[in-house]
Amino acid sequence: MSDLTTLPVTTLAGAQTTFGEFTGGGTALVVNVASRCGLTPQYAKLEALHERFAGQDFTVVGFPCNQFMAQEPGTDEEIAQFCSATYGVTFPMSTKIEVNGDGRDPIYRELIAAGGADDIQWNFEKFLVGPEGDVLARFAPRTEPDAPEVVDAIERALA
């Protein structure tokens, strides 16, 4: 089991949990999200993936981040309201975090170390993480959540 599963997470609602509990102990697509980005419409496809594979011990998890051109300026309440009202998001989300730099959240330290040494490029970068906390794949921000390479990786992880 990776240290990733035991790292703390604060949910968008303010509850304290661990990454393993946050993801339900299954396979997860971890995405740094933002509400005012050109890629924000990916929320709809992320929610569709979450619903499509939910019965197979899979979830999408969102980590709001304001580090890229201040495209996630809202409070946790505003983020939750926007995601629910605009895209019908039901997947779990954390409180706003930093994914790069000195303030990088420990979860993203682990993800980057396991998924390649490069910093997060932009909003909506995706990591596929197995139940044991292993990074199985990493996808660029512009890779759509329903792209064949993403869906294939999820299906392989769940097989």
3-state percent breakdown (helix, strand, coil) of the chain, nearest 5: 35, 20, 45
Per-residue pLDDT band for 2 (boundaries 50, 70, 90) equals low
Instruction: Note if 83 is an active site residue.
Output: no
| Residues 70 and 37 sit within 8 Å (Cβ to Cβ) | no
The number of distinct structural domains making up the chain is: 1
pTM for this model (two decimals):
0.95
Single out the residue of 43, 14, 10 nearest to residue 126, CA to CA: 43
Bridge partners, 46 (sequence order): none
| Residues 147 and 39 sit within 8 Å (Cβ to Cβ) | no
**Residue 22 CB coordination number (10 Å):** 24
User: Residue 129 is part of which domain span?
Assistant: 3-158
Residues 110-143 have pLDDT tens digits of 999 887 778 999 999 999 999 999 999 999 999 9
**Res. 58: pLDDT tops 80:** yes
CA separation for the pair 24, 87 (Å, rounded):
22
- Give the mean pLDDT of 70-78: 95
Per-residue pLDDT band for 1 (boundaries 50, 70, 90) equals very low
Catalytic residue among 2, 21, 26, 37: 37
Q: What CATH number does the domain containing 88 carry?
A: 3.40.30.10
